[in-house]
Structure 1
Amino acid sequence: MTHTLAAEPGDALYRRVTLRLIPFIFVCYLFNYIDRVNVGFAKLQMLDALNWSETVYGLGAGIFFIGYVLCGVPSNLALTRFGPRRWIGVMMITWGALSAALLLVNTPLQFYGVRLLTGAAEAGFFPGIVLYLSQWYPDRRRGRIMALFMSAIPVSGLVGGPFSGWILGHFAAGQGGLAAWQWMFLLQGVPTLLLGLLAFVLLSDSVATTGWLSPAEREQLQAELDADARHKPVRSDHSLKAVFAEPLVWVLGFIYFCIQSGVYAINFWLPSIIKSLGFADPLVIGWLSAIPYLLAGVFMLLVGRSADLHRERRWHLVVPMLMGAAGLLIAVNFASTPALALLGLSIATMGALTGLPMFWPLPTAFLSAGVAAGGLAIINSVGQMAGFLSPYVVGWIKDQTGSTDAALYSLAGLIVVGAIVALKVAAPGRGKPALAKV
């Protein structure tokens, strides 16, 4: 049976909601991701300027996620208490200021401390946005919406790569007493702070409290969300004990960990890998790093649309994950051929980044409102542990062997394991989720 999204009732209303919410949230997530991974470009000059090793960089890049993991659940619970508008604004102002403050670090301990605090400050942003969108869109519409929202990740690479490369080149001689890498942290941190102030004005806390919808429109949206909630297979109370005791939360967290292992390997090491292919100019590295992200952005939107059109989730997740693993293997085995290595990195980026939005409709479809706030934060926190382990392990292995090959082989294998587990999780709408035979 062929599904058609054009025939869905309420399309005009949801288009209006999307145009109101998604552009601003998209820009916020764009700078969220730029601020998180711009240390990958700063590394090109920062390590030599401060006389740091690859291991110091890897630990500093990864320690961000210790703060992120520790504060993920309480931050998401705070969002439900204080409201998305206020809490998202506070988070963005705080992490924007901390991200800009990286220009002041001189020692590894200072680097570790600021990164740790930055991770803690933004811990609730992503799971909070996932929860927020689930309170506006029913499950059948979340594939495309999550793809639209999370396309900010490849766009951050598409825009952030050339922008970071331009800053490093333009300010190479240093201006105003700051080195180029310091200017990069300043120019990319301040916009986040300003966006945080705008969040207080532009976001609405919920369907029920928004002033830009008519009473009839609010009633229509709420009725669809209520109907969707009645079909959630996993229900529980609001206690953290109940959330931590739900096995599916941990299975989904492991799958997300596997996806993020590949994503962060690409995000933090793509500029360095491209440099190792023989390219020295920071601007050239920036433009070349934009190619995989451009392809990933297009692929992500196409797969998101297909997932909603066919009402299918597992294979739309598993196939991109396997692409991510295959792309890493191609990049490793053809490192001596820049064109093929860049092709491999592009396939890896397309697959790994597309796995992110294709993953999140699964937990939001499975988990009831009582589990969602804590459950989504736990899943995200487990996944983000990869953000600590992946760059640190890659840096350590490179220091020990002089190459990232062994690390990328290991990450590719981990992604394959995650894809197998994802394949065994029953699709939403087909009964209680469980580890089922394929």
Structure 2
Amino acid sequence: MNTLLLRGGRIIDPAQNLDTVGDLLLANGKVVGVGPQSRPANTRELDCTGLIVCPGLIDMHVHLREPGREEDETIATGTAAAINGGVTAVACMPNTEPALDTQAAAEFVILQAKRAGNCHVFPIGAVTKGRAQQELAEIGGLVAGGAVAFTDDGSPVESAELMRRALEYTKMFRKPGEPFGKAVLVHAEILELTRGAVMSEGVVSTQLGLRGMPAVAEEIMIYRDIALAELTGGKVHILHVSSAGGVDLIRQGRKKAQLLKDRGEPTFWISGEACPHHFILTDETLRSFDSNFKMSPPLRTKKDVDAIIEGLKDGTLTVLATDHAPHASEKKARELDQAPNGILGLETFLPLCVTHLVEAGHLTWPQMIEKMTVNPAAVLGVDRGTLLPGRPADVTVIDPKVKWTIDKNQSKSKSRNTPFHGHEVTGRAVATIVGGELKKCEIG
């Protein structure tokens, strides 16, 4: 019997409204329970005094690049970075080469993740074949292959008709007793307004002479897809929200969905996520012309940063994620308008959230952990994100007080494109447990 006892930690499980100091016992890949437990012989113990013990962190927005762009990242290196950052499960985006748009493609990702032996990987299927915006992908086959949700992330679903059909189709895959089917994850962007853009449109882009992406390009798409969610009764999640207007639209949409539910009328799902770079950094950083500050959606103004933080505080934005997007150094070394969008995130995810949300007084520990565990699990419809007895033994142990400096050269990723190199942070994952197996341990 493979058993592990985490002794004396502050155990936080928002799914159970649990916040207590005690022991957590894991056995045979499952959670046994919190509190005094009979301990089988040969139980390994970890002294978690002064540490936080919580369900394994879930990052539902990750680009693992395999197949097709293994020079940037592989499933093995990306999941190693996840483990190092305390993340026990990731959902990987379908903008690979070829796109993740068939049952075989989903099965390949799961197989490669098992071979790597790091964290869980949940495939996200493409909405359209080849992400080419012409016809729906094989959604039924993708579900059979293990896809847990759908998106064309990296680009939007431009056609409102295709988006409507996707929402109608994914409703067919409801689990018994659940009101919604698979989620469609939205990269909110009107491409006619953003082609050739390098950064957010505003004062800074004008002063730098760079073409900008207006916030309204995000907001129009969010408005459209909330309306389509209501029309179809579908499940929509807005990825990487970057604008104050986008936050407000999601807030209004969630209020309407709740009102319909309270009336006993057919309702819909709308949720949204925030990434650390969008609640920490602004477009002022682009004055450096450093491509590590270039991403899509782009960094925006202090007003937008404040709105995203407020959205996290009031429950409008229910998920924290990274949009981990590795690029080989030679690609990011190009001129700003030629460099690709995207930054690393898996290993800086937890400390940035602790530093800029919990330590800054915006969220409590349980509130932050909820947005990194049970809430993303609910969007994806996966059996993770809680320490309930019998559930998978995925656990993250956090030192909440340790202070350290982010060093890109210590990353487990193949790439080094982080804007947070040299950033001083608080909090770190000191143990990562996946299926009851200790994948990382810096305790004692």
| Alignment TM-score > 0.5, same fold | no
TM-score, normalization by structure 2: 0.25
Pick 1 or 2: higher relative contact order, CA cutoff 8 A, min separation 6.
Answer: 1
Larger fraction in strand: 2
